[in-house]
Structure 1
Amino acid sequence: MRRRHGLVTIGGALVAAAIASGGAVAAAPAVPVEAGEASVAGTRSVLHLPRVPWEGGSAYWSRFPEAHRAGWDRASFFPTALWYGSCNPDQYVFDKAHGINTYAQCNPETTYDGLAAARMSTLFTPQGQPARGGRVQVGTLLDDEVDGRYEVEEGLAHMRALARQYDVARTGRFTYANWTGSILTGDRSMKVSTDYYDTVDVNSVDAYLLSVPQCDWTYDGQWVGSRYRVPAVSSWSSGHVGLPISQTSCRTPSSYGKLIDLQLEVNRARGQRGPLWGVHEVISTGGSVNGYRQPTGAQVKAAAMNSVVHEARGLMWFSQAPDQADVSDCVSGDAFRDARVDPSSCGAANVAAVGEFNHFLQSLAPVINTRSFVWSFGPGTDTMLKVHRGAAYVFAMAQDGGHGTRTFTLPPGVTGRRVVVVGENRTLPARGHTFTDTFADETAYHVYRVQL
């Protein structure tokens, strides 16, 4: 997640399409029920809809002994990680209060005992950790942005060597790597993408489109197109034909779900269903100068929700900004640490927003960790449909950075006439199998609960 400038590659014409009316989508085929799925009470008999391809939700982590010991395979657990933590006893309390449960990296002197007492997970080996059974290190971060730092064959050889070294049979832990946004563009072939993704269990991409100017590719002042591929099917949940990362909406929260869509296509191309994590900036990686923008707390939360709506299986928060005053007007090595030490620090408001979102998300983990149904609720909606304990849950945003009123058509089998807007202390009537709600701006998201 090092700060860098990408290369420009101009691809083919951009194409956008939308589903004109609510209904099941034939383009996303039904997937056989996987082990344990039939035990979800009533979902198969009530909603006769296709299901999204998935890796198994929280049960996926049970294949890794160290993650299992740490409770990652509980339905109530959803990974909300911090890329680089300050990692001391005071910070553990603060970070947990803000919904962080995992550290990708920490200071080299970080001790196992402190992390264990705080019940924090890591993707690195702290000092004094037992070789097995420590319930702290659940996975291993193999490397970061290898696709942007090596030639392809050299990078693949490097990753494959690390994969052999940290194979689950040796460590009991899953492996994780983060890639640059270039791995989803015309800068790289799909074969290169799949080869890199095959080297680890969990993949993610950092492309901080709320903050950086790199999605606005121009030549002599004229827009020349998006460097990102165009996804064929958006998220498999909403069933919408894939929307490109476009000039008009690239710097909105909607782009983060599109990044997950593009990674789902890499998974489909390699025939795998490994978890994808959404990577999100807490503060701008370049401040508010030289074309960079400082995202608001509302934008940060909305971008993370859009990743989840598009089937992200975890979140990685990046809370750093360069330490050169002429590059960033909000310098930070760890915005969480700064917010604890100085509540008036430049990133404190966004850290608070991240905490609010993490707790909201974790309160819904038992729902999110179920397998989604494929259903289009109607034009202009970006949605994910779940069923949990006799109720349908609709995670929703306006599509493509839009806003305004949207009408949702409920699928057959959802018969409730009262729609609860989760966490907002309000309800909506469902009439004629539809309900309507308003999305004030690009950052608005709602979660609806309707009895079956």
Structure 2
Amino acid sequence: MRATATAMALILVVTACLPAGSEPGTGSSAARGPHLPEGVSLEEPDGGTDFFTGFENGLPSGPEYVPIGLWLGSVTSSEEALQERRLGLNLYVDLSVDSGLGFLGEGQYALTSWPDPAARGAVLGDEVDMWAGPGHGAWSGNFPGQGEVCAVPGTDCGYSVQDDLAANVPPHTMTYSNLGKGVTFWQTDAEAAGFVNGAHDVVSADNYWFTDPNICGAQEGGTMLAEPRDLTDAQCRLPANYGWTVDRVRSLVDPHGSKPVWAFVEVGQPWDLGTLDPPEVAQIRAAVWSSLVHGARGIVYFGHSFGGPCPSFHVLRDCGDDLAKGIAEINADVTDLAPVLNSPSLTGALTVEGAVDAVVKAHEGDLYVLATAASPAPGEVSFRLDCVRAPSGEDGGAQPVTEAAPVPEGAAVVGEGRTVPVDTGRFIDTFADGNAVHLYRFTGNDCGL
């Protein structure tokens, strides 16, 4: 069984991410390349930094692009597309049949479940693991609600559904599938891996931790515990669990890291029961950043509400300026840090004491620690980071300080207008609640990266 993301007050060794590059003012270090501490190694982002270049008419490939998508949107005018572009959405992950891709503006792209020359990829299916089951039986061609799904009643044919849908996609087209609770909760690792490694290039799974009335049960979210049981609300309705879902899917990819995993986050109420309110902006922000910290290479918002205070197919258009403004700010932060998020990872370089998940990245010689709460109230958390420039040779092979490479006085907390003191790679900060997100920037590095 898998360990919960809500483990309390453990000393965790978490990943750090750094791109190869030269350190300003230290030519000798750059000449011999990175010099990493023992036990630390570089790891490319899933699928590689130029993943999308392998497809015809694919999504943009480069450090400035992180897919920020809307699931099954509807675009029937250029005004609608412009409204969502202003929110920082750059991708439609499938569209309603009355939509027109010609309405999309600059920097907007779409994946569709039907052939369209303007599409940048194909959507193969949604939650096939749940409605067709883990098996190679013949598929009838029916989708849920259309009759028997598998040609032989009582058999499983989910793998065949994926294969048959992919067979109809033109060669060299990027393909995408979204999976569900079968992969994350109900199936064995081998069965789930059969779906994750199926006939698609990019994969995600949607677990709606904030709003699903059933997900806290022992047979669903409770399976993340060593001994499955019902989760408390504090354990279940936690942004860190969106990172857990990403971890679950990434753990099944074979070879490890060979395909990108995207994350789903709801911005409305996907359940018609309406027993739980839609998530607040702070929760959405924390879920997005938890997913990215755990290795998601794209974000997909579920933007429909079937219950709650604002039932709508277009939550981000219809359900208030506060929500739209909050999503726009989240997306702007992700877009601003896209070059950082697309950097390679450096595993084993960061130690955290406290209930926080974190990853380290680097861009143009600066280090970034991206950290999100892993419990409802982490409180004070201590970090120790290798490769921080220091005045002595104690940490990370530190080089002597020079005028061209001064020791930074502290780490800037991105977007918060403050700094935290840093002493030979060690720093402390407070994470007030389960929605806490802190993004730290360190000037320079001391590992020739």
Q: TM-score, normalised by structure 2?
A: 0.78
Corresponding residue to 2:71 among 83, 107, 120: 83
Q: Deviations over 1:219-269 (max 9, x none)?
A: xxxxx88443459xxxxxxxxxxx99953422110100011111121115x
Corresponding residue to 1:406 among 381, 390, 398: 381
Output the CA distance in 2 between the equivalents of 1:171 and 1:261.
Answer: 30
1:156 matched to 2:159: yes
Output the CA distance in 2 between the equivalents of 1:45 and 1:353.
Answer: 39
**Residue in 2 that maps onto 1:378:** 352
**Residue in 2 that maps onto 1:143:** 125
Is this contact kept in 1: 2:134–2:194, CA < 8 A?
no
Output the CA distance in 2 between the equivalents of 1:318 and 1:299.
Answer: 14
Corresponding residue to 1:253 among 227, 233, 239: 239
Corresponding residue to 2:282 among 298, 303, 318: 298
Cα distance, 1:19 vs. partner? 8.4
Output the CA distance in 2 between the equivalents of 1:18 and 1:283.
Answer: 29
Q: Per the alignment, in what secondary structure is the counterpart of residue 42 of structure 2?
A: coil
Cα distance, 1:289 vs. partner? 3.7
**Residue in 1 that maps onto 2:210:** 210
Aligned residues: CA RMSD: 3.2
Distance 1:317 1:16, change over 3 A: closer
Distance 1:287 1:407, change over 3 A: farther
AA matched with 1:356:
E
Cα distance, 1:58 vs. partner? 3.7
Q: Percent identity?
A: 26
Corresponding residue to 1:284 among 269, 293, 300: 269
Q: Deviations over 1:251-294 (max 9, x none)?
A: 110100011111121115x555210001000112237843x232
Is this contact kept in 1: 2:45–2:343, CA < 8 A?
no
Distance 1:44 1:217, change over 3 A: farther
Q: Per the alignment, in what secondary structure is the counterpart of residue 367 of structure 2?
A: strand
AA matched with 1:193:
A
Cα distance, 1:403 vs. partner? 3.0
Q: Per the alignment, in what secondary structure is the counterpart of residue 92 of structure 2?
A: strand
Is this contact kept in 2: 1:287–1:329, CA < 8 A?
no
Cα distance, 1:163 vs. partner? 1.8
Q: Deviations over 1:55-101 (max 9, x none)?
A: 3444111111212xx5x112101000000222121111111111100
Cα distance, 1:198 vs. partner? 2.0
Distance 1:108 1:288, change over 3 A: closer
Cα distance, 1:15 vs. partner? 10
Distance 1:371 1:352, change over 3 A: same
Output the CA distance in 2 between the equivalents of 1:13 and 1:309.
Answer: 17
Q: Per the alignment, in what secondary structure is the counterpart of residue 375 of structure 2?
A: helix
Distance 1:335 1:190, change over 3 A: same
Output the CA distance in 2 between the equivalents of 1:12 and 1:366.
Answer: 31
Task: Select the structure that is richer in helix.
Answer: 1
Distance 1:152 1:182, change over 3 A: closer
Q: Per the alignment, in what secondary structure is the counterpart of residue 265 of structure 1?
A: helix
Cα distance, 1:190 vs. partner? 1.4
**Residue in 1 that maps onto 2:260:** 275
Is this contact kept in 2: 1:180–1:206, CA < 8 A?
yes
Q: Which of the pair has the greater relative contact order for Cα pairs under 8 Å at 6+ separation?
A: 2
Output the CA distance in 2 between the equivalents of 1:210 and 1:15.
Answer: 15
Q: Per the alignment, in what secondary structure is the counterpart of residue 286 of structure 1?
A: coil
Corresponding residue to 2:312 among 312, 332, 346: 332
Superposition pairs of residues 92-103 of structure 1, within 5 angstroms: 92-103=81-92
Cα distance, 1:351 vs. partner? 2.8
Output the CA distance in 2 between the equivalents of 1:433 and 1:120.
Answer: 40
**Residue in 1 that maps onto 2:432:** 440
Give unpaired runs (5+ residues) of structure 1.
1-10, 131-135, 219-223, 232-242, 339-344
Cα distance, 1:422 vs. partner? 1.0
Corresponding residue to 2:108 among 120, 130, 153: 120
Superposition pairs of residues 122-201 of structure 1, within 5 angstroms: 122-124=110-112, 129-130=116-117, 136-153=118-135, 154-166=157-169, 170-185=170-185, 187-199=186-198, 200-201=200-201
**Residue in 2 that maps onto 1:341:** none
Cα distance, 1:404 vs. partner? 1.6
Output the CA distance in 2 between the equivalents of 1:266 and 1:125.
Answer: 25
Output the CA distance in 2 between the equivalents of 1:253 and 1:120.
Answer: 28
1:392 matched to 2:367: yes
Distance 1:181 1:417, change over 3 A: farther
AA matched with 1:113:
G
Residue correspondences, number:
391
Cα distance, 1:408 vs. partner? 1.5
**Residue in 2 that maps onto 1:266:** 252
Q: Which has the larger radius of gyration?
A: 2
